[in-house]
Amino acid sequence: MAVTRTRRLGAALLAAVASLGSTLPAQTAVRDLVIEDQAVPVRLMGYGLVVGLDNTGDNGYGGRSSQQTVQSVVNLLRRFDVSVPAELLRTRNVAAVLVTAEVSPYLRAGGKFEIHVSSVGDARSLRGGVLWMTPLVADAGGTPVATAQGQLLVTDYGAGRRRPYLVETTGRIPDGGLIEGELPRPTFSTVSRLLLREPDIGTASRIAAAIDTALGAGTAKVEDPGAVALTLKDGDPAAKLAKIRDLTVHLATPARIVIDAHDGTVVAGGELPVGPGVVSVGSVTLSIGGVPADTLAGTTDGRLRLATGTSVQQLIAALHAVQTPPSQVALIFEALRRAGSISAEVVTR
């Protein structure tokens, strides 16, 4: 039964990958490729407490362990004129956490944003917890410009599998952050450069050419693979920037394979071939080459033999057919990349 489910998963992944390769857009909007030099996101951070845990918080009792959590609870209670000796506190329903976020510098007071929460003590799980109101600053020791609070959402990786991989010491709160002060706000009218999210000289040149075609020669100039300088002539700069962001350019799709090491999901575009090579990871030994071209996989005690020219999609299906663990799937693709058997970038998450 487990083998049947695994094969169905492999077939579903093949179908998803095939559809991805056939539906990649030929044109990409400039707004998806760049950010204005004045719109670099602001990163916020803070230290807070997650409360309401079911005996899975920091292991602190009598101040002998997780002392920062005990002291934080003492300080919190003092703000409400409640005094409790630290040696009497038990904090298994509380966890000390770091709170981080990334927001637009143009976000005004009242604007909400997503926050991420991570345990800094020895808590076993943050599931079911609520983040107590936490001040957020742009620089350590700075004045708080935002606050964060709310119910945590904890993600399961591979829940329900035979060997689940669960991470319960991190979580997020959609719209859990609230701007209350003034962020370091840039001057919108002084935008003079477009910064590429992924520097590439070809992409920068195509963006500059599209801008010159739409707004006139000399409006854009490539400074380097990561920046396009703008010379916005007389007129409304906001309207011109809006027009620039709506322009589209044709991009050459990079060969890239993205692997989720938690659940074994592999996403790739197009028919990427796999060249000859031998890789042994854990209980799986993979050999590419030396078998007829119409052979997809021969398996004996974890040994896979595939024909030269086998596609990435076929390799994914073969690995899932023998129930290769997700972590080993990632290691196999990385090893094939280092050996030169795969000419695509491998990204493991």
Closest CA to 207 of 239, 252, 238, 247: 247
CA distance 70 to 62: 8
Averaged pLDDT, 70-76: 77
Confidence at residue 229, expressed as pLDDT on a 0 to 100 scale: 93
State the Cα–Cα distance between residues 262 and 240, nearest whole angstrom: 44
Answer whether residue 173 shows pLDDT above 90: yes
Name residue 172's beta-bridge partners: 116, 153
Contacts of 295 (CB under 8 A, 6+ apart): 305, 306, 307
The 10s digit of each residue's pLDDT in 326-343 is 778 888 888 888 878 877
pLDDT digits (tens, 9 = 90+) for 138-163: 888 888 999 999 999 987 654 444 44
Q: Please give the average per-residue pLDDT across 176-185, as a whole number.
A: 87
Q: What pLDDT score was predicted for residue 269?
A: 64
Share of the chain above pLDDT 90, in %: 30
Average pLDDT over residues 258-273: 72
CA 232 to chain centre: 34
CA distance 142 to 158: 40
Dump pLDDT digits (tens) for 240-262.
Answer: 888 999 999 988 766 778 887 77
pLDDT of 121: 84
d(CA 311, CA 326): 19
Q: Distance between CA 291 and CA 297 in Å, rounded?
A: 9
| pLDDT tens digits along 15-40 | 444 443 433 445 889 999 999 888 88
Q: What does the pLDDT average to over 208-233?
A: 92
The pairing of strands 227-230 and 220-224 is antiparallel
* Mean pLDDT across the chain: 79
| Domain layout of the chain by residue ranges | 2-24+254-348, 46-179, 192-250
Q: Round to whole Å and give the CA distance between 162 and 38.
A: 49
